[in-house]
Amino acid sequence: MMMKMHLGAVVPNEGARRLAAWTLTKASASIEAVAAAAGIEATTVDRILTGDVIPAGDMAHRLWLATDGTIDRRDWRTEAHGWWFDAIPSRRVH
């Protein structure tokens, strides 16, 4: 059974915003897929999205890898730069 994302009225941090956007825009992504790729529980991903868990250290690094570098470890401690469905600027240098 696929878990639904629980997005609150307030975006807790830029990392959560980027994680939600990445999960919603990737055809094969889901909370379960992100959790499996990062080696964490799906319920932990849900708690990250609500701001109850702030990834640091190894967990932040594994989420960076699981999301193809979309979420930098500093994003978890940075105020959100927009709302849940606002565009996420790319960090890729052309």
Report the half-sphere exposure of 62 (CA within 13 A, side-chain side). Answer: 15
Report which of residues 15 and 25 the model is more confident about. 15
Q: What pLDDT digit, counting tens, does each position of 65-92 carry?
A: 999 999 999 999 999 999 998 998 877 6
Task: Compute the distance between CA of residue 16 and CA of residue 48 in angstroms, rounded to an integer.
Answer: 6
Residues 25/88, Cβ–Cβ less than 8 Å: no
Query: Any idea what the CATH number is for the domain that residue 58 is in?
Result: 1.10.260.40
Q: Model pTM?
A: 0.89
Residues 49/80, Cβ–Cβ less than 8 Å: no
Q: What total number of domains does the chain contain?
A: 1
Asked if residue 45 is part of any domain, the answer here is yes
pLDDT given for residue 1 in this prediction: 63
Asked if residue 8 is part of any domain, the answer here is no
Asked if residue 93 is part of any domain, the answer here is no
For residue 58, give its domain range.
Answer: 14-77
Asked if residue 37 is part of any domain, the answer here is yes
Asked if residue 71 is part of any domain, the answer here is yes
Q: Dig out the tokens for 44 from the structure.
A: 């932990």
